[in-house]
Structure 1
Amino acid sequence: MLIPYDQLEADTLTRLIEDVVSRDGTDNGDDTPQETRTLRVRQALGKGQAVIFFDLESQQCLLLPKHAVPKEYFD
């Protein structure tokens, strides 16, 4: 299920983004500060390049590149 980022409270969106960019394995050797990575994700959401996807099976909220989400979720 897609969740429109602009329908989340600002604080909730910030916590979600910070949680995702700080997860183990997300830096991949990248020394970019967390604040910068958080800003990049927020910008990608604003440009429609990324989406918030709630996986019903795992009960997890994911931030994904738009192209990684099956097209049927956009219908």
Structure 2
Amino acid sequence: MNGRVWQLLLDSFWQILLPGIRVTIPLTLVSFSLGLIIALLTAMVQVANIPVVKQIARIYVWIIRGTP
């Protein structure tokens, strides 16, 4: 490839990358926050001694662990 093609690839790379980063970082933060909340609630339910709710939390964890 000649220099003009490389310059075109580099220019278009940054034009695609920056909008992607502006979407990816907030989405990552929101997903992490929601996942942390769900994980803490599930952990607190499993520590509690309410048999029905504890079993539901265990089934939820079993399903999530089995999801590829």
Q: TM-score of the superposition, structure 2-length normalised? A: 0.28
Q: Larger C-alpha radius of gyration, 1 or 2?
A: 2
- The structure that is strand-richer by fraction is 1
- The structure that is helix-richer by fraction is 2
- By relative contact order (CA 8 Å, sep 6+), the higher-ranking structure is 1
